[in-house]
């Protein structure tokens, strides 16, 4: 495993930093395109929130995907990376006026709308620009997902979407608006989902809703089922490419797509998760009263997932072949939750060793913060470090 990293190059760079293996990223994108090609009316938008590093975005754009954005900043990042505006969708529960205006100015494909007040604002702003805004409604399908509570989104108690009971009313309001064109329904039940049964539950709900709408003679061109496909964080030999075959086949088998409809997906983690690694250096090895700590120069400011969701990222000592010992691997931040893992087996650690935190390409660099006045980590691709 260690052989895949340019360790001599790493030693010349200031740690911590993110390292993106572009072969893994390109292989992942090809695997997605290979599966999607089987279904002529499927299309994938990359969820920019997972990773907006410009070098990563450029590679994803080359693959032909669209972009799923949740802020004006993400729309700008996507356009700057060359995503065509007509392949950009704009979602999010709280869109500011300037962000809506930006989307309208670029002529993006669609706004995923989450409430009537938001719809009214989009209608008004579109009228002021003399434009028609395409909208899809994000429906909260009240479907649970077997994942961490902080990243389930499709339950009735969550803030996201329009409830199923309100759906007809919202559609009626939209159909009466002059500067709104109602084109689709949007769903998203959560993230890091590995149980295909959760997606089946979503498909069943979408089928029910579609039947109900058709009974009212309401037809929609686009169904967007969001993202959520999980990745393998833990196994000793992590599966680098997620199981896209089963994922798309589940939708093909379960969702009753009408022949005139397109099905949209918004994958984030499954696209970029496995290509990214956080590389950090050991500052100190400290023998505590009960255990040994490996203190890294990377902390929760660089990779917050362990602190926020008790997430596990596989760790490896890239510069030691000595026998394994157990360490609590921690960062330098003044918070007790700044812990990457407890009792982690690593090849014997000494000051200066390079530690890799794997599967960190999604929600890693992009969620970094400057807390404790720390510098944001840089991101390098394997293409740059050859």
**Catalytic pick among 69, 203, 334, 373:** 334
Q: Convert residues 23-62 into a mask of x (bound to ligand LLP by CB under 6 A) and - (unbound).
A: ------------------------x-xx------------
* Smallest separation, CB 363 to ligand LLP (Å): 3
d(CA 312, CA 293): 17
When binding is defined by CB under 6 A, the residue of 44, 56, 151, 349 that contacts ligand LLP is 151
The tokens of 234 are what?
């833990």
First to last CA, the chain: 17
Contact between 271 and 231 under an 8 Å Cβ cutoff? The reply is no
Nearer to ligand LLP by C-beta: 71 or 381?
71
Q: Convert residues 228-267 into a mask of x (bound to ligand LLP by CB under 6 A) and - (unbound).
A: xx------------------------------------xx
Q: Hey, which residues between 163 and 182 contact ligand LLP (CB under 6 A)? A: none
d(CA 366, CA 232): 20
Question: Is residue 267 annotated as involved in ligand binding?
Answer: yes
**Cα 325 to the chain's mean position, in Å?**
34
When binding is defined by CB under 6 A, the residue of 192, 274, 381, 382 that contacts ligand LLP is 192
Nearer to ligand LLP by C-beta: 102 or 270?
270
d(CA 330, CA 334): 11
Q: Does 91 bind ligand LLP (CB under 6 A)?
A: yes
Nearer to ligand LLP by C-beta: 266 or 338?
266
Question: Is residue 335 annotated as involved in ligand binding?
Answer: yes
Question: Is residue 19 annotated as involved in ligand binding?
Answer: no
* Smallest separation, CB 91 to ligand LLP (Å): 5
3-class SS of residue 341: strand
Nearer to ligand LLP by C-beta: 303 or 346?
303
* Smallest separation, CB 233 to ligand LLP (Å): 10
Which residues on adjacent β-strands are paired with residue 111?
A: 90, 135
The tokens of 261 are what?
């409809």
Q: Which residues contact 356 (CB under 8 A, 6 or more apart)?
A: 5, 277, 278, 279, 315, 316, 318
d(CA 142, CA 199): 13
* Smallest separation, CB 28 to ligand LLP (Å): 12
Active site residue 110: no
Output the CA angle 342-348-351, nearest 5 degrees.
90
From residue 110, alpha-carbon distances to 31, 66, 90, 362 in Å are 26, 12, 6, 24
d(CA 76, CA 90): 11
Residue keyed to tokens 């293409």: 383
Question: Is residue 269 annotated as involved in ligand binding?
Answer: yes
When binding is defined by CB under 6 A, the residue of 305, 313, 314, 358 that contacts ligand LLP is 305
Q: Does 269 bind ligand LLP (CB under 6 A)?
A: yes
Question: Is residue 299 annotated as involved in ligand binding?
Answer: no
The residues assigned a catalytic role are 334
Binding residues for substrate, as ranges, are 269, 305, 309, 335, 363
């Amino acid at each position: 495993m260690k052989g895949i990293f340019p360790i001599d190059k790493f030693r010349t760079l200031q740690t911590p930093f993110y390292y993106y293996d572009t072969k893994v990223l390109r292989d992942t994108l090809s695997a997605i395109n290979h599966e999607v090609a089987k279904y002529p009316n499927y299309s994938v938008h990359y969820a920019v929130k997972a990773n907006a590093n410009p070098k990563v975005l450029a590679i994803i754009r080359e693959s032909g995907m669209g972009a799923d954005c949740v802020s004006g900043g993400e729309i700008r990042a996507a356009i700057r990376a060359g995503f065509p505006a007509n392949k950009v969708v704009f979602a999010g529960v709280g869109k500011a006026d300037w962000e809506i205006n930006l989307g309208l100015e670029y002529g993006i494909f669609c706004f995923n709308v989450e409430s009537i007040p938001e719809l009214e604002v989009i209608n008004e702003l579109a009228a002021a620009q003399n434009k028609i805004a395409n909208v899809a409604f994000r429906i909260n399908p009240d479907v649970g997902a077997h994942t961490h509570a902080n990243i389930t989104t499709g339950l009735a108690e969550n803030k996201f979407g329009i409830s199923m009971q309100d759906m007809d009313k919202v559609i009626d309001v939209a159909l009466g608006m002059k500067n709104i064109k109602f084109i689709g329904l949007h769903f998203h039940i959560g993230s890091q989902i590995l149980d295909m049964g959760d997606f089946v539950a979503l498909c069943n709900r979408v089928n029910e809703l579609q039947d109900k709408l058709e009974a009212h003679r309401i037809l929609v061109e686009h169904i967007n089922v969001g993202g959520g496909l999980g990745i393998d964080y833990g196994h000793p030999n992590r599966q680098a490419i997620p199981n896209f075959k089963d994922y798309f086949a589940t939708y093909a088998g379960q969702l009753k797509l009408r022949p005139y409809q397109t099905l949209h997906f918004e994958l984030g983690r499954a696209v970029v998760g496995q290509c990214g690694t956080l590389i950090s250096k050991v500052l100190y090895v400290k023998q505590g009263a009960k255990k040994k700590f490996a203190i890294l120069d990377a902390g929760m400011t660089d990779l917050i997932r362990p602190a926020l969701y008790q997430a596990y990222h596989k760790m490896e000592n890239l510069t030691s072949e000595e026998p394994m010992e157990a360490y609590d691997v921690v960062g330098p931040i003044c918070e007790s939750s700044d812990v990457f893992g407890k009792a982690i087996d690593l090849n014997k650690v000494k000051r200066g060793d390079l530690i890799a935190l794997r599967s960190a390409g999604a929600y890693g660099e992009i969620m970094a913060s400057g807390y404790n006045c720390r510098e944001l980590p840089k991101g390098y691709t394997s293409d740059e470090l050859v």
